[in-house]
Structure 1
């Protein structure tokens, strides 16, 4: 823009030749405002002294409208106060028309390119910062950031929700203002460790651990959640610029109260389960199938005569060495069936070698509790129950039953023989008696002996003494009586 048409034309031709640039010219500030309202440009070059509105007034108007287009005043030699006004209103460069025209236009060309580059760089930086702010704003965890001076530069929506403090009340605040919502006072917190060193937060947290350049801590704050308290998980990391220099720090805060409650309940149940298992004397094992590593508890180690410290760590190979070769084939069959998901659990009774050499009979139960994406087993856990005493008692019972069975057979044989002898003697005696009445008495005695012998035989042969076949007994007894009396009467 220039109110001198000849100079305006010269400037246009020169810049288009040196450019390449596409130049649009205006002879007044008002024409320029009308054009700029409809057409975006990369840079504005204006004379200072123009009719109606000078160059600085035009600059001021554009800046008030929010237009940050690079603005260069190309004018004659002006007073210092003009330069100050121009700088105060946001001019990028002031170039004097006096001097060597070639050098002047070369300087103008350089300043145009420099101003455009600088503005584009600033736009990219703002865009980058805006994207970063958007990312931070939409993070699910409450997050805020500070610069190297400890001034808040980001305060996301989750942080607003957690603290009840809007971003407008926190941005630009320093002097540990960000600590007040959590601790009720201005004090260094985890994020300050990044910028000020570990000494500044010494004693503020019960435990802080580091992962790379990130610091992590966990703390219980009683006044949060309307006085119910909350467990919070903190992570703080440095912010870097493109040169790798720390430009600030960022901290994320997660409410883990629900998780802590679950962990406490789980811990309580694990303690209850451990107490129950301790009372039951059951061995526990946990097998990492891919690595072969097996972890077991003290009861399992005691079963085979080892202290746990001496037995651990143990591998599946060591487990196999403790087993008997005759049991391994069945073990492989059953475990492979479970791995193939053909059985809900693995269960087998096997023998293990005790440290002192004797056999330990155990009942092993287990189940795969973790699989990979291809359906291969990753982890299996289960129990070991010592069956040695039960086996010994079972063997004693079986031996006792065998002895009793032998005794019962002998008693049965003797009773049966004695009944036969008595029955035979009664029969022989009856045959020598001629008196019918006495013969009938002997026959009845003989029948009673037979009935007793029959009952004895039935009881001996019965598999279930609570369910004896009486009908069969009566049938046999009836057939015997009919046979006896029929023969006696001659029919």
Structure 2
């Protein structure tokens, strides 16, 4: 089947059959729409499989009439899933509106193609070989499908069900449930757990962790005791600055995420440059802490995933007021 089924040709065939409610043969239809017999046969096959035409055999002749049933396309378009019907050659003969919208291609330009040859391929040629068993009456298959559309990953739970057409031909009905949001949520949970695992293996100096959007995702118990601010007041907010300053300004961890080395030098004068772990260090006096202020030793370092992508930053906070008052700390 060719992959360029046109809207004009199908419309002309349906129009001429509407004018002949008792039915027409392939020869009569091809002559009426000025189309070769082979081409007309291919369009008639698609229209029959999709439920728009009915086929009757009168002797050796095939007689086509407009269907008096609800077209399968109407049913497909009311389903929440993406649905595709494949013929015996595993070419698309029907597709729901939702699938056409996902593929970004009008229905006439999808018909006749394999799922492996679409602009957004959903199966590999090897996957399609596995579907051959369904054409021979094999059991239904389930498969998780990953595709890339416009640079973004999308995921589907795919069900592949053997189908039998009225003309006796075999095919496959494909039902795709979009599970992209669920997969993203699962990945985010795994990443959060991995990061918290990393955090818990760092020495227990008071610390907090912010993600790359500068939102607090972890505020430890030692920090609660030092600041009097509970984790539930901080997690999910951008308010970590409140433990240091009377008015909002970036913390060292914020600037590490931004990679703003110039501003680090300006706001945290005397801070040590990053070491091999990309860790900044700063010791300074914070007047808004406690009754008379506190001297704090702060470190901040980026946190990266296994691929090296920045996911957030960790900041540790050590109260060194006593050491400073005893002269054990040299201001940096």
Pick the structure with more strand per residue: 2
Report the TM-score, using the length of structure 2 for normalisation.
Answer: 0.44
Question: Over alpha carbons, which structure has the higher Rg?
Answer: 1
